[in-house]
Structure 1
Amino acid sequence: MKLLEKAERIRIYIGEDDKHKGRPLADVIVEQSRKLGLAGATVFRGMSGFGANSRIHTNKILRLSEDMPIVVEIVEHPERLEVLLETLDGMLKEGMITKEPVDVIAYRHGGKQKLS
């Protein structure tokens, strides 16, 4: 798959305990992205954070792994992201989604190639 030099990145901010139909929401988002044939998705687990409810989530020893912040990041053509965003609207009960333009410098797999 080839990405345009100009693409968009969406970031989906959720909690580790967020579920969709009993399954971890981050996993469902990654699987849905793959089914839609998107370029890729990455899930990041935060060390600390808070959201709209202002409750701090942290990995400090006394509160080990309490609903840690999760960010799912996806870069793709804007029109392809719209299909995913429509799907996410029905999945996301709380959290935040952001969208921003990005410049894609390289997108490859396999074999070693030089950046040009």
Structure 2
Amino acid sequence: MKGKASVLKIYISELDKINSAQLFEEIVKEAREFGLAGATVYRGVLSFGASHSVQTDKAFYQPEHLPVIIEIVDAEEPIRRFAERVHELIDLSQKGALVTIHPVEVVEYKPGDKYNEFGSF
């Protein structure tokens, strides 16, 4: 994959869950099963969203209560289709989120050595 593509960005809390599964892990798992090109989860250090509650990594907050950003890259059409599934997952979690789609240009995309840290994926 090279050239024009899209990035789906999902901003949620690390604590958000669907049943007992962490929402960010479920989204990445489903993105992989959907056949999307790739996904990365970033942990934030400070955020606020629509509810205006502040999340930070300062010592007086629980370290697992941090914002996470999931970035998923692929062609525009599969990204838009998967965004519909993300909407369903967020609804199931009954938590807040911000979801955006941005155009990007992929200049390099090639596989490296395979490894899988998550046996259940």
Question: Does the alignment reach a TM-score above 0.5?
Answer: yes
Task: Give 1:74 shift.
Answer: 0.7
Output the TM-score relative to the length of structure 1: 0.87
Give unmatched runs, 5+ long, in structure 2.
114-121
Q: Could you tell me whether the CA contact under 8 Å between 2:8 and 2:83 is conserved in 1?
A: no
Aligned position for 1:81: 79
Q: Which amino acid aligns with 2:107?
A: I
Q: Which amino acid aligns with 1:64?
A: Q
Task: Give 1:66 shift.
Answer: 5.4
CA RMSD in angstroms, aligned pairs only: 1.4
Output the TM-score relative to the length of structure 2: 0.84
Task: Give 1:65 shift.
Answer: 1.6
Q: In the alignment, does 2:108 pair up with 1:106? A: yes
- 1:55-85 CA-to-partner distances (Å, cap 9, x unmatched) read 1111111113252100000110011112211
Query: Which moves more between the two structures, 36-45 or 75-84?
Result: 75-84
SS at match of 1:61: coil
- What is the alpha-carbon distance in structure 2 between the residues aligned to residue 67 and residue 82 of structure 1? 29
- Which aligned runs of 4 or more in structure 1 are off by greater than 6 angstroms? none
SS at match of 1:62: coil
Query: Which moves more between the two structures, 64-73 or 19-28?
Result: 64-73
Q: Report the structure number with the largest CA radius of gyration.
A: 1
Q: Could you tell me whether the CA contact under 8 Å between 2:9 and 2:71 is conserved in 1?
A: yes
SS at match of 1:83: helix
Aligned position for 2:118: none
Give unmatched runs, 5+ long, in structure 1.
112-116
- What is the alpha-carbon distance in structure 1 between the residues aligned to residue 98 and residue 86 of structure 2? 11
Q: Percent identity?
A: 36
- The size of the alignment, in residue pairs, is 109
